[in-house]
Structure formats: C-alpha cells, structure tokens
Structure 1
Amino acid sequence: MRSIRNLVVFELLVILLLLLVYVTTALPQQEQVGPFGGLVFLHRGDTSAFPENSIAAMRAASVAGAQAIEIDVMLSQDNVPMVIHDPSLERTTNGRGKVKNFTALELQAFNLVNTSRGQPTEWRIPKLETVMQEAINLGLILEIELKTEIHNHYLVAQKIAALFERFNFYQQGFISSFDPRLLYYVRSLNPKINTSLALKAHPPYSSFTQYVLQQPFTAKYLGVSMIEPDHLLANERFINFWLEQKLLLNIWVVNSEKLKKVLLQPNVSITTDCLIGSC
C-alpha cells in the first residue's frame, strides 16, 4: 500500500515539475502577426523554367505575379545559412555529397540544375542573406523553412535572428519548421520573428509525438503565430479548430484550383507549385 502511495506522490511531483517548466519557459505569442494570411506562396519560387530556390526562380515568380514564395534553408560547414532544400547536393546541383560538409564558398561553386527539365544552369546556391535582400528588392514575402536536417540548431537560430534584425524583415517574412526546437530557439533569441509549426499527415515519428504537436498547448509553448499543415490534414474541422486558437494557417502543397478556392481565406494561406492551373 505504501509503495502505491509513493508512486502516486512521485507521479504528482513529476506532473507539477512539468507544469512548472511549461509555465516558466513558454514563449509569448507574437502579437503583430503581419501580412501572412490569405496569401498564395509559390513553392521554392517559379520552378517551371528555373532551378528551385534560386534567385532566378524568385525573379520569375515576381514577374508571374506572385506575392510570396517559400524557400528552404540548410547550414553550410562554416555555419552560413544557404538556400537549398535537400541535405545532399545530387538532386538539385551538379555536385555530390552532404551540404553540411562544404563551406559556403565551396557550395557556391556548384551549378544548380533545373529539376523539372533535368538541365544544368549557370545559377548557384544562394546565401539566405542574398535571398532576403532580393525579396526586399522584389517586394516578395518569404516563408523560410528551416530543414530538420540542420546540424546545429541553436547556431542557425542565432544566424536567423541576426538576419531578421539586420534587414528589419519582421513584416516581410516568417520562419517555419517541422522541428519545434528550431522554432523555440528562433523566438527565444528574437521574439519579434513570427514562426510557423509545420505538420505532416504521415510523420516519421510516433503517434504520441504527432498528438502532442497538434495540441494548442504546444503552439502556445512555442509562441508560434501559424500552423502549417499538410493539405491531407486540413479538413474543415482542422482549419476551424486552429482559427479558433487565433492562429493563421498555411496549407501545403495545394495544386488543385478547386481546392485552392475552397481553402484560401483571410486567415488561411496556401503553398502551391503553380500560380495558375493544376500542376
């Protein structure tokens, strides 16, 4: 009987400790969310004729009338945020190997490949700071996704926080990630940055982890302004639930014109591979 009572006391103490940690370490939600609702984000820029995540794809997206684009960030060996989707070079460049094993200068020696056409180009992997400056020049809003394969979470958060401050980018971009640690670090370092928690319909982690990530207390703890679900998750109930939590949504990747019209609303953005027509 005493052992049961001791176990109950122990579990209560653990719960109280967890509550204390939650209360004392939770981040405040960004009050000024910015102009990130009701937008159509072009996925990695206009990739119909140019390499994904390239300056050329950004410029083509702007010419096509895009208001916003989504880009991806990895970290180089010398800890420079680089705009590239994959952790390795093979699919999108003429190089071979892991991004994290090359310096920024070495990465920029490789040529980007137009993956939709299978052709090499003269465009190179851009630094994030170059892309942010280009977004300012073009008047584009950026969703900056920090990839889960990034090898130094806190350091990349420091780099991101500094870049947002340097460019005063708070109303022109936000950070998204499937990794809540990256979002927590970014906002703890610079609470003026808006962040978005990305969710997969079929994640590689446990159902319990998925459950925790989809609870309002997680979003509140991280201080995120947005939830970014796979379109397979984004039914009417899901959307209404998160809108009731006073959060924006950005649903990916939506390529059906019919679905675009259904989903797009003032507090719901979508990410698509093409601006007009089904891809």
Structure 2
Amino acid sequence: MTQIFAHRGFSAAYAENTMSAFIAAEKAGANGLELDVQLTKDDEVVVIHDEKVDRTTSGNGYVKNLTFKEIRKFNANKKGMKKEPIPSLIEVLEWMQTNQLICNIELKNGIFPYEGMEDKVIQLIRKYDLSDRIIISSFNHYSIVLSYRMAPEIETAPLFNERMYMPWVYAQSIRAQGIHPKLTSITDEIIKGALENGIAVRPYTVNKEADMHRLFKINCTSIITDDPVTAIKIKKQYETRL
C-alpha cells in the first residue's frame, strides 16, 4: 500500500523542517518524513530548505556563511507561538531512535556544492544505525552517485522536475532504487513502468485530493505531501476496499 511521507514534516499545519512538524507527522500516522539539509560555515548538517535563512526564520543570510551557534539563535517558527531553532540532522536522527519512520534526506547541494556533505550525512546515518530507514535524494545527481559509491547499503533516489523518457532505465544506470519526480511531470504509464521495473516512485508535492486518489488507485510507492492527515484519510478509503 502507498506510503505517506510528510513533506518538510507536517508543513501544512506547522513551521516546515522543525521538530514540531516532524513530531506532528509521526503522531498523524505518516510512514515517513522528507527533509532538506545544508551545511553551516563550521560544517554542521542542519535541516533547512533554502540556501538563505530569510524566508523560514527570524534571521537573514546564507546558511553557508553562518556558524551553527549563530544559526541556532534564529526562530524557525515564525508563524507559531513558541520559538524553535533550526534542527541539526543529529537531533532528527536521535529522535528517529524512538520511532519507526522512514526519512528521505534531500541534499540541497544543487546551488552550492557543499564540499564533503555526502560523507558527513552518511557518517551520521551509520552512527545512528539508520541505513535501512533512510533514502538520500538530490537534484544533484553527481551527489547521488557519490552517495551510492560511499554507502551502497543506503537507498538513493534522483529528484527531477521535467518529464523523463523511461526514468527507470536512468535510475538503474546510476544504481538508484527509486525516483522522486515532480508530480506534474509524471503520468500513470511512467509510474507503472517504473514499478514494473523494480523502481520505487515517490512524487512531490501531492496536496490535491484528486491527485492523492489517482496515486492510491495505481498503488504508487509513496506520496510526498504537506498534509499527511488528509492523505491518511483518503488512503483509508482504499484500504477498506482490499
């Protein structure tokens, strides 16, 4: 049955990429999380989507120009009542010891090719013994290949925006076990083709109920959504039919 991944946590109701959003996703019953990582000036792996902190926090500037200590002072929960810091990847992986969630870590190294990011992320995954519960994805496919070479035991999945011809062939060529396509770039035929060829498909970002229905009907591997609660409600309709 299709799995539900909470995009940047339960980001429809909580500040994205915060521990509150991740904890809420788990409580809602999501199967997994999708989160983004960048490197600080002093090489800490932090969970934030944008290269700059301006949109999602009370601070400003590029993540790469700020130390971990500096970045932790910003409030990553601008909408909410309580102040929350940008999480470190360590914090998330430690918390994952208390549950069974799967986690898709997206390496945000398309704009700034953070030196050594793959190695740092892989070392942390191994330290917390989570290799079988992590998927590493990125729009930087060189980074995906490097991750696979460093850690063939950790699943990898290229992200892409455009429609690709027979993406399962491409995935197999870079030894990826899945693809994470933009929802609008994927047809039912492409999804079925990938699944038949043993490649997992996890489209992003699936927020409309009609799209959820469409993907549950064809038993897509997973959906990446801002709203796991709605997705779970719809998924239950399909579970009762089995």
Please give the TM-score of this superposition, normalised by the length of structure 1: 0.76
31, 38, 62: which one aligns with 1:74: 38
Q: How does 1:252-271 map to 2 (within 5 A)?
A: 252-264=204-216, 266=219, 268-271=221-224
In structure 2, distance between residues paired with 1:120 and 1:151: 33
Q: CA deviation at 1:215?
A: 4.6
Q: CA deviation at 1:226?
A: 0.3
| 216-225 vs 100-109, which moves further | 216-225
Q: How does 1:87-98 map to 2 (within 5 A)?
A: 87-98=51-62
165, 173, 193: which one aligns with 1:241: 193
Structure 2: gaps of 5 or more residues = 232-242
Structure 1 pair 79–152 and aligned structure 2 pair: CA distance change class (3 A): farther
In structure 2, distance between residues paired with 1:230 and 1:86: 18
For the pair shown, the structure with the greater C-alpha radius of gyration is 1
Is the counterpart of residue 164 in structure 1 residue 125 in structure 2? yes
In structure 2, distance between residues paired with 1:81 and 1:150: 16
Structure 1 pair 258–189 and aligned structure 2 pair: CA distance change class (3 A): same
Match of 1:155 in 2: 116
Q: How does 1:1-279 map to 2 (within 5 A)?
A: 38-114=2-78, 118-119=79-80, 121-149=82-110, 151-201=112-162, 215-264=167-216, 266=219, 268-277=221-230
Q: CA deviation at 1:120?
A: 6.6
The residue identity in structure 2 corresponding to 1:255 is: N
In structure 2, distance between residues paired with 1:150 and 1:130: 25
Whether the 8 Å contact between 2:167 and 2:194 is mirrored in structure 1 is no
For these two proteins, the number of residue pairs brought into alignment is 230
Q: CA deviation at 1:217?
A: 4.6
Q: CA deviation at 1:221?
A: 3.1
Root-mean-square deviation (Å): 2.2
In structure 1, distance between residues paired with 2:191 and 2:169: 17
Please give the TM-score of this superposition, normalised by the length of structure 2: 0.86
In structure 2, distance between residues paired with 1:120 and 1:199: 36
Structure 1 pair 216–57 and aligned structure 2 pair: CA distance change class (3 A): closer
Match of 2:235 in 1: none
Q: CA deviation at 1:170?
A: 1.8
Q: CA deviation at 1:136?
A: 2.4
Q: Percent identity?
A: 30
Whether the 8 Å contact between 2:37 and 2:108 is mirrored in structure 1 is yes
Q: CA deviation at 1:50?
A: 2.7
Whether the 8 Å contact between 1:112 and 1:120 is mirrored in structure 2 is no
| 97-106 vs 132-141, which moves further | 132-141
Q: Deviations over 1:240-270 (max 9, x none)?
A: 2212321000011111223212213555210
Whether the 8 Å contact between 1:59 and 1:138 is mirrored in structure 2 is no
Which structure 1 residue ranges, 4+ long, deviate > 4 Å from structure 2? 214-217
Structure 1 pair 100–154 and aligned structure 2 pair: CA distance change class (3 A): closer
| 102-111 vs 82-91, which moves further | 102-111
